[in-house]
Structure 1
């Protein structure tokens, strides 16, 4: 397969943002024999960023490949890359939610190693609980992102964890011989934790930003919102890039008449936000969707949007992600509506907010973060 043909679109593209890397190729090389021996539907791919693993396994002869990608943009990129590379019929990977259906009967699981140990634990646990008894996980990543703790996490679910030779600054871990005595252990996801300062329960699936804690940027944003100057007469609000849904749940609790939409492109984040809303008794006024930004909301429909934007794509710092979200907010804001945003002060987003959204004022600032409110003109 020609990996150079793969693209990230509709995700952000640019220098240093490739659709595949040496780790994908090493995973496929290490798994080639197992893939060849697998029957129809027995190969499953987890956290395949843009389709390199799913399409690579198919090119090696796998049929009925099932795949789960956490990001909505990654799922769409896989669909486009499938067409771009000419796969059709039974050679089209089937995208599924993270569920027993995804993993049932799997004998070979290919995976990019997540940097979050919690995410790795959740995925490995699901494989151990629902895949075939002789399942083998072939998981790889870049050496700079790998730790010995990853071996230990896999070792809680599998008796054997083998390590490949390094190649092109990448390595693969192969987990096999599923534990029988200790697994399957009870699934403990999402995790729940009460934040005493906010009096809020945070629910988190593995890998979601900040987990069950509340990051300091969000705390500064909530303190600013607590002053009551954020479009106080708004009937609805949006928590854009919601993560665990802390802001959405806090807004719904602080303003009993407010209906909140929380949206994130991550399936794990969306599931976490739903659980956070339920844990805090506001699920009747918080609607959670998995989407690329605000694509599901009509133009000029909202008077208040709140955003703590991500500023990394994989390992790369890339401000294009935030600017994409700013543009989405500008489209969805009604005239006179406001985008309340917290951002790392060194990124200096204010000129971009002025240009993309409208007049921007500083609400709060500490040594690391700035909170701004940008008003949509018109």
Structure 2
């Protein structure tokens, strides 16, 4: 990627920014026009007080936090990769990461706040959860600025903002981004937070909890249902990884079928891992141990440390659709599997995972397929 594509120039300064996970030939920038729109609007409000209390919400890769580091004391996100990129980018620009408190989604920001900058997340339930939690931190003078790319801003965004915070005013689109100003209304009655939600997992007595940013919160999604119908049993398995675990349903069923194995639940979403932990503890209680990891895929796992990896990989990162995350998961699994260990993957038929897995493992076996999904199995050869 050229210097132009890694250098953000805004009123606050000139900053070098990169995405996470890192790719050798990165084609995407670490910011978008919505970030620029927010920073342009903040610059209009100068002079900024040194003690101004600013919260950044859903910063994609740290562009907002880095540019506003002298004032943005808190950054709040559900994404581990976002936080990792933010730390990297602060350091790359000579800023001490310790000057900013990076909060994950299961933590609560502190208030009161003078200015809140919100990037609209892909999951509107996450936005709803965040707005409800932010409400007690607002004062009559708090300014709330919300932005996103036009193509990712349904009308329901305005509905949520007006229902939970107050009246909105929208600027004209700029570089295909929209900026929304919200005026807090102290008289609004804020409903109770509906998250996490629960449903009974079909065919079991388990109740599955789902925090706001978990995929398919209200019922079992059709891909996972299909995967569960073909889930493997490896009697010799000692360590099983539910990679990209979401609410942990695959790992729960794997634990039930492998009563002596240690199951590791891994996701980059803090809410996903919190959901998986709650669901495992509810299903098995103190009688069974498991491991829970919020991280960059299998980056923290040792080589040859797992016998079975189950993976329903995401095909998007935030608002960007692509297979780079899945490809990275497959490469990490190849390293982490013991000789003879197996990786089982489910994906939409059109994603072409078969070819990618065959390149890495030599061959890929089709276990099952239907009109929408394929389930593939590969095995780690000798080292």
Structure-2-length-normalised TM-score: 0.88
- Aligned-residue Cα RMSD (Å) equals 2.4
Distance 1:129 1:336, change over 3 A: same
Cα pair 1:334 1:376 within 8 Å, conserved: yes
Whole-angstrom CA distance in 2 between matches of 1:129 and 1:256: 45
Distance 1:240 1:174, change over 3 A: same
Q: Deviations over 1:329-349 (max 9, x none)?
A: 111100001011111111221
Cα pair 1:47 1:69 within 8 Å, conserved: yes
Residue 252 in 1 paired to residue 255 in 2? yes
Structure 1 residue 235 displacement after superposition: 2.6
SS in 1 for 2:310: strand
Structure 1 residue 186 displacement after superposition: 3.1
Whole-angstrom CA distance in 1 between matches of 2:161 and 2:108: 22
SS in 2 for 1:371: strand
Cα pair 1:248 1:262 within 8 Å, conserved: yes
Q: Which residue of 2 aligns with 1:235?
A: 238
Residue 292 in 1 paired to residue 296 in 2? yes
Structure 1 residue 208 displacement after superposition: 2.1
Structure 1 residue 241 displacement after superposition: 0.8
The runs of 5 or more residues in structure 2 that have no matched partner are 1-7
SS in 2 for 1:288: strand
Q: Which residue of 2 aligns with 1:302?
A: 306
Q: Which residue of 2 aligns with 1:262?
A: 265
SS in 2 for 1:177: coil
Whole-angstrom CA distance in 2 between matches of 1:238 and 1:294: 9
SS in 1 for 2:109: helix
Q: Which residue of 1 aligns with 2:195?
A: 189
For residues 1-378 of structure 1, the aligned pairs below 5 Å read: 2=9, 5-12=16-23, 17-32=28-43, 36-37=47-48, 40=51, 42-58=53-69, 62-63=70-71, 65-88=73-96, 92-98=99-105, 101-132=108-139, 134-180=141-187, 182-183=189-190, 185-197=191-203, 199-225=205-231, 229-281=232-284, 284-378=288-382
Deviates more, 1:150-159 or 1:365-374: 150-159
Q: Deviations over 1:58-103 (max 9, x none)?
A: 3xxx43521123222221211121122233488x432123366523
SS in 1 for 2:284: coil
Whole-angstrom CA distance in 1 between matches of 2:349 and 2:202: 27
Aligned residues: 370
Distance 1:219 1:199, change over 3 A: farther
Q: Deviations over 1:293-321 (max 9, x none)?
A: 11222110111110001112233332221
Cα pair 1:26 1:170 within 8 Å, conserved: yes
Structure 1 residue 38 displacement after superposition: 5.3
Q: Deviations over 1:251-275 (max 9, x none)?
A: 2234333321100011121122222
Deviates more, 1:212-221 or 1:321-330: 212-221
Q: Deviations over 1:26-49 (max 9, x none)?
A: 112223455755553610111101
Whole-angstrom CA distance in 1 between matches of 2:47 and 2:253: 51
Cα pair 1:230 1:340 within 8 Å, conserved: no
Whole-angstrom CA distance in 2 between matches of 1:287 and 1:67: 27
Distance 1:134 1:269, change over 3 A: farther
Structure 1 residue 166 displacement after superposition: 1.4
The runs of 5 or more residues in structure 1 that have no matched partner are none
Deviates more, 1:194-203 or 1:324-333: 194-203
Whole-angstrom CA distance in 2 between matches of 1:99 and 1:37: 30
Cα pair 2:304 2:337 within 8 Å, conserved: yes
Cα pair 1:115 1:146 within 8 Å, conserved: no
